[in-house]
Each structure stands twice: as structure tokens, then as C-alpha cells.
Amino acid sequence: MKKIEIYDPPMCCSTGVCGTKVDKKLIEFANALRTLSLSGVIVERFNMAQTPRVFIENLKVKELLIRKGQNALPFIFVNGELKWSGKIPSAKELLKVFGVEHKPQTINEGGCCGDGGCCG
């Protein structure tokens, strides 16, 4: 079974798609993850602000944090192997790794937290 694990830096919500200024790259990444999930890929995403324990319990992630520091987040693992560190891949790049066709989607600018935002 194909699997992707994303260990994000602290963000205001699980995807980082919130607040009044939404990074379009994060929206595209979230949409690509949804596409992977619908294609049968196991998608696990962890936010340091919401699930810090996971970062300590995963020995690979813990060691990377000790060695590289929090500024090297996100850590993105594909089938248990570190594929990206410190950057969010483009949707096309991410989907290509799993052999899933890239179909550009309409960007939803609303974010995960509604019109009021959650980042203050």
C-alpha cells in the first residue's frame, strides 16, 4: 500500500489553509493530498502545534528535528523514506511520485477556518 506522511511546522490548523492571507501553494498541496487519498494512497498529516507527541514518538522525525531543527519542516515521507525536507512540493511533483495524473483544480480561497480565519 502506498503511503505519504507529512510532518508540518506549527500552523493554525491542520492544513495551514486558514486566515486572511492563504498561501496558494498550501491549497494546491492540500488538494493534491485529497487526490492521492481518493486514489487509494494512505495520507497522514501531522501539525507540530496540534500533535507534538507524534514528532517525538517517530524516531526518524525526532532524529531529523535534533539534527536539522524545526526550520527544516515539513518532513515528507513516501513509503517510509524521507522524500522532501523544508519545502512543499508542487502538486504536479507530488502526484508524479505516486503515478497519479495531475489535473489542476479550482482553488478554494475560503480556507479551513471560514471567513473569520483562525490565525488572529
Say whether 107 sits in a helix, a strand or coil. coil
Range of the domain at 25: 3-98
Average pLDDT over residues 102-119: 54
Kindly state whether residue 9 falls inside one of the protein's structural domains. yes
Kindly state whether residue 18 falls inside one of the protein's structural domains. yes
User: What per-residue confidence (pLDDT) applies to 60?
Assistant: 97
Instruction: Count the domains in the chain.
Output: 1
- The whole-angstrom separation of Cα 4 and Cα 32 is 12
Asked if 85 contacts 75 with a C-beta cutoff of 8 angstroms, the reply is yes
Kindly state whether residue 119 falls inside one of the protein's structural domains. no
Kindly state whether residue 90 falls inside one of the protein's structural domains. yes
The residue whose grid cell reads 511520485 is: 97
Structure confidence by residue, pLDDT tens digits, 5-43: 999 998 765 555 555 667 788 889 999 999 999 999 999
In this prediction, residue 108 has a pLDDT band, given cuts at 50, 70 and 90, of: low
Q: Can you give the pTM of this predicted structure?
A: 0.79
CATH (domain of 82): 3.40.30.10
